[in-house]
Amino acid sequence: MAPRVLVSDQLSPTAVQIFKDRGVEVDYLPDLGKDKDELLAVIDKYDGLAIRSATKVTEKLIGAAAKLKVVGRAGIGVDNVDIPAASRRGVVVMNTPFGNSITTAEHAVAMMFALARDLPAADRSTKAGKWEKNRFLGVELTAKTLGIVGCGNIGSIVASRAVGLRMKVVAFDPFLSAERALEMGIEKVELPELFRRADFITLHTPLTDRTRGIIDAAAIAQMKDGVRIINCARGGLIVEADLVEALKSGKVAGAGIDVFETEPAKESPLFDIETVVCTPHLGASTEEAQENVALQVAEQMSDYLVHGAVSNALNMPSITAEEAPILTPFVKLAEILGAFVGQVTEDPIKEIEIVFDGNVAAMNTRALTSAAVAGLLKPLVQTVNMVSAPLMAKERGIRISEVRRDKSGIFDGYVMLNVKTERMARSVAGTCFADRKPRFIQIKGINLEAEVGRHMLYITNRDVPGMIGAIGTALGRNRVNIANFHLGRDREGGDAIAIIYVDEPVAEAVLQDLRSIDGIVQAKLLSFEL
């Protein structure tokens, strides 16, 4: 029987045609995504669901979707899809990472012009017959400083346009290397400096725990008087109440807002402020971008449903059916090693070397490398996947190399990740035993053997008596249950590490408590998707 796909958001007709051409039955019901109950009632009939941002793919919806195999997002952001829930149910989630980047960058640039010359207000006033020539005194963009927060696909396109407009561009992005910034003709700065120097600030990060509320009252206080702020990325990056206050006081001279804390935004205090230009999440809305993303999502979903081929999946590696049983645990291992380094590293990464030792060297190391790089980039680039990770690393000027070598130690095979940042080198190695469970076997050159858990404490300390007791007491005092405790040290009395597998995530206050123990150098909470 032919697979059946539901398109529940507005998508270009190209998508429907492609599904049909590829032998996939398709129901195009572009308003269904807005009606949660109706969607819930019919979703069990479909193998695929093609969406934009209106359809919310919740755990409940996935639970009701008995046949669902793939969700295809015609666009970039997947914050409307519960990916862990989809993964748990074996539903592949795909997006189209580059199809609307130019269009969205152009929207941000359009916002910048609109703010610089007060275009919407001038339009309203002129059409009202007021001819207020003296009221609208704009500012030039030439020679002004644009601060870009998040310089990935879209941010770097905005940068290139702004450079063409003869603006000075400063960018903050932990994954932007100084070399890449130089290549683009922009300056890499830290966030406080960007706030201090920018006349215009534009946001192009995903919405993550680290970026939520990145523009709040405290951030605005550091900015120039009269700064103009643009958000064509995600609502939630700006604390809207704080922005409203700053607009009212005149500290912020204008704001271009395409995305809102709550969408659809039918009302907002921002709407009452004359210097705010709002659009209803139109960043990706051009004929070209919608054509690109519709075509791409329909091709990808059809390929998966008809041939089992996977591309641009956020929760599944691209692996053939034959290699899957052997490779899958090592793909997870590689991703975990990457996630370990990604979570403990704050500097821009310059080099990643992946060593495949023993029997691992004979596997599909490309998939393993992609998984390691995806794991490494994930704490910052939420939507990275195994397909996009190598390209994203390249765009960020990160050099990747692979080393394959014969068995060199007691393990039949293992994977080691050596990462160089601008300031330091890091190394972590792991393997899978017959039980297919990933284990850390070496961190910073220190041997240990630690099964990987969802929540782990990574502690570095001096090798002195009493550390285990002190750590255990601090965790007990804070009612943190220890599932497993692993230790290692480089030499007697030297540097030591502890990897502690805990049942629940640990609060920052507990980490502070641990850090206050004499002899502890650092304590971090790490999370892994298992």
Ligand X SMILES: O=C(O)CC[C@@H](O)C(=O)O
Ligand Y SMILES: NC(=O)c1ccc[n+]([C@@H]2O[C@H](COP(=O)([O-])OP(=O)(O)OC[C@H]3O[C@@H](n4cnc5c(N)ncnc54)[C@H](O)[C@@H]3O)[C@@H](O)[C@H]2O)c1
Residues that bind ligand X (CB under 6 A): 52-53, 75-77, 100, 281, 283-285
**Which neighbouring-strand residues pair with 402?**
354
Question: Which of ligand Y, ligand X, none interacts with 231 (beta carbon under 5 to 8 A by kind)?
Answer: none
Task: Choose from ligand Y, ligand X, none: what does 52 bind? Cβ within 5-8 Å by kind.
Answer: ligand X
CA 416 vs. chain centroid, Å, equals 24
> Of the two residues 237 and 301, which places its CB atom closer to ligand Y in the complex?
237
Q: Residue of minimal CB distance from ligand X?
A: 75
Tell the smallest beta-carbon distance from residue 450 to ligand Y (Å): 28
Minimum CB distance to ligand X smaller for 164 or for 264? 264
CA 286 to each of CA 12, 290, 447: distance values in angstroms, whole numbers, following the listed order: 11, 6, 54
| Least distance (Å) between residue 172 CB and ligand Y | 5
Please give the residue ranges that form the binding site for ligand Y (CB under 6 A).
Answer: 76-77, 100-101, 104, 149-155, 172-175, 204-208, 210-211, 232-234, 258-259, 281, 283-284, 380-381, 383
Q: Exactly one of 52, 228, 234, 489 is catalytic; which is it?
A: 234
- Which of 204, 281, 439, 489 is catalytic? The answer is 281
Measured distance CA(451)–CA(432) in Å, rounded: 9
Residue 514 CB, nearest distance to ligand Y (Å)?
Answer: 25
Instruction: Give the shortest CB-298-to-ligand Y separation in angstroms.
Output: 19
| 204 is known as an active-site residue | no
Q: Which amino acid belongs to residue 355?
A: V
Q: At what angle do helices 287-302 and 101-116 cross, to 10 degrees?
A: 160
Nearer to ligand Y, 223 or 284 (CB): 284
Q: Report the partner that residue 205 touches, choosing among ligand Y, ligand X, none (CB closer than 5 to 8 A by kind).
A: ligand Y
Q: Are 371 and 417 in contact (CB under 8 A)?
A: no
Q: What DSSP letter does each residue of 80-118 carry, written as one string?
A: TB-HHHHHHTT-EEE--TTTTHHHHHHHHHHHHHHHHTT
Q: Which two tokens stand for residue 485?
A: 């405790």
When CB distances are held under 5 to 8 angstroms depending on the partner's kind, the choice from ligand Y, ligand X, none that residue 478 binds is: none
The minimum distance between CB 382 and ligand X, in angstroms, equals 11
Give the amino acid at 361.
A
Compare residues 100 and 431 and give the one whose CB is closer to ligand X.
100
Give the C-alpha separation, 476 to 445, whole Å. Answer: 30
Active-site choice (263, 291, 351, 402):
263
Catalytic residue status for 263: yes
b (16+ CB within 10 A) / e for 428-466: bbbbbeeeeebbbbbbeebebebbbbebbbbbbbebeee
Q: How far apart are CA 376 and CA 337, in angstroms?
A: 8
Q: Taking every pair of C-alpha atoms in the chain, what is the biggest distance, in angstroms?
A: 84
Rounded (10°) angle between helices 101-116 and 119-127: 60
Nearer to ligand Y, 7 or 380 (CB): 380
d(CA 254, CA 200): 9
CB of 237 or CB of 363, closer to ligand Y: 237
The site partner of 199 among ligand X, ligand Y, none (C-beta below 5 to 8 Å per kind) is: none
Nearer to ligand Y, 12 or 100 (CB): 100
Q: Answer yes or no: 234 catalytic.
A: yes
**What's the closest the beta carbon of residue 462 comes to ligand Y, in angstroms?**
32
Tell the smallest beta-carbon distance from residue 38 to ligand X (Å): 20
Query: Choosing among ligand Y, ligand X, none, which partner's interface includes residue 153 (Cβ < 5 to 8 Å by kind)?
Result: ligand Y
The total of other beta-carbon atoms located within 10 Å of residue 65's CB is: 24
Active site members: 234, 263, 281
